[in-house]
């Protein structure tokens, strides 16, 4: 069976204080986009637990897909042979949620096959591995995400398209980025209420992690060409949203993308 695991961007991302569980409070708008990893998964009968996850970019023991399969089988006392191969199209350490999306997609597939757990149980299984997995477990394409990623409120955002810009900065892991942000004193603006219902040319997209990178230089460069510019997740991918004033641009590091429409 082949599964598509879609990436997300954060239109904005406000990071709060770290709680005793080591997760930070966040206030963010997540939107799925049409970039995806391809996962081939096979389930076979076995008298013991056997898991194989092949991915060129990530070792098996460090792969969230392997970890969530292992947790799911143990939690439900299932003996089976599960084989996965992952073709990564979503770059690592980009802030696009590729690892979390992969793991959530596989978890949903497993539960659809074995029919063991409620949605709440799947969320509880996922949270200790990745709070972003909760968004990917929900049947939404765009949402307001708060309470350390646990609260998902579906919102409707119209069709947008643009470009992803990779390799602009030195990449940081999510863990490293969050550890660095704790040392910053942030004077953050407030989100304009329902800004996403207005014309894209008026959007202001703030991300707490933009202070970790030379983001403002690139932002100014592409704003002059008529784009709305944002940083997704903890970085390092930048996204450019087209407006009616956008000029054509040529850059080998640019990848076209579009929003997945809400249903």
Is 74 noted as a catalytic residue in this protein? Answer: no
The DSSP bridge partners found for residue 164 are 239, 255
Q: Give the pLDDT score at 263.
A: 42
Q: Is domain 2-154 given the CATH code 3.30.360.10 in the classification?
A: no
Separation CA 218–CA 221 (nearest Å)? 5
Domain ranges of the chain: 2-154, 161-258
- Among candidate residues 8, 67, 93, 148, the one labeled active-site is 8
Q: Give the pLDDT score at 185.
A: 55
User: The whole model's pTM is what?
Assistant: 0.94
- Among candidate residues 27, 132, 219, 242, the one labeled active-site is 132
Q: Given this chain, do its domains 2-154 and 161-258 carry the same CATH topology? A: no
SS (H, E, C) 212-233: HCCHHHHHHHHHCCCCEEEECC
DSSP 150: T
Q: What is the pLDDT along the chain (263 residues), one digit of tens a residue?
A: 999 999 999 999 999 888 888 788 899 999 999 999 999 999 999 999 999 999 999 999 999 999 999 999 999 999 999 999 999 999 999 999 999 999 999 999 999 999 999 999 999 999 999 999 999 999 999 999 999 999 999 999 989 999 999 877 778 888 888 888 877 756 677 888 889 989 999 998 999 998 888 898 999 999 999 999 999 999 889 999 999 999 998 877 799 999 997 54
Domain covering 161-258: architecture: 2-Layer Sandwich (3.30)
Number of C-beta neighbours around residue 81 at 10 A: 15
Q: Give the pLDDT score at 18.
A: 81
Is 132 noted as a catalytic residue in this protein? Answer: yes
Residue 66 Cα distances to 37, 41, 115, 165, angstroms: 15, 12, 19, 29
């Amino acid at each position: 069976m082949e599964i598509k695991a879609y990436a997300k961007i954060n239109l904005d991302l406000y990071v709060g204080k770290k709680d005793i569980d080591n997760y930070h409070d966040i206030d963010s708008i997540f939107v799925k986009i049409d970039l995806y990893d391809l996962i081939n998964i096979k389930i076979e009968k076995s008298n013991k637990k056997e898991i194989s996850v092949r991915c060129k970019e990530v070792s098996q023991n460090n792969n969230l897909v392997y970890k969530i399969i292992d947790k799911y089988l143990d939690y439900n006392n299932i003996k089976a042979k599960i084989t996965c191969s992952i073709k990564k199209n979503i770059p690592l350490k980009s802030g696009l949620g590729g690892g979390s999306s992969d793991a959530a997609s596989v978890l949903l597939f497993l539960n659809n096959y074995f029919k063991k757990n409620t949605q709440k149980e799947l969320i509880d299984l996922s949270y200790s591995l990745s709070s972003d997995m909760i968004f990917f477990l929900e049947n939404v394409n765009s949402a307001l995400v708060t309470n350390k990623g646990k609260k998902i409120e579906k919102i409707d955002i119209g069709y947008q398209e643009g470009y992803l810009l990779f390799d602009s900065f030195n990449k940081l892991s999510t863990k490293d980025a969050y550890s660095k942000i704790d040392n910053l004193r942030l004077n953050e603006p407030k989100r304009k209420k329902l800004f996403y219902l207005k014309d894209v040319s008026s959007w202001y997209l703030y991300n707490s992690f933009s202070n970790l990178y030379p983001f403002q230089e690139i932002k100014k460069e592409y704003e002059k060409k008529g784009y709305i510019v944002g940083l997704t997740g903890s970085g390092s991918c930048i996204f450019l949203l087209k407006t009616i004033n956008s000029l054509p641009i040529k850059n080998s590091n640019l990848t076209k993308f579009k929003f997945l429409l809400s249903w």
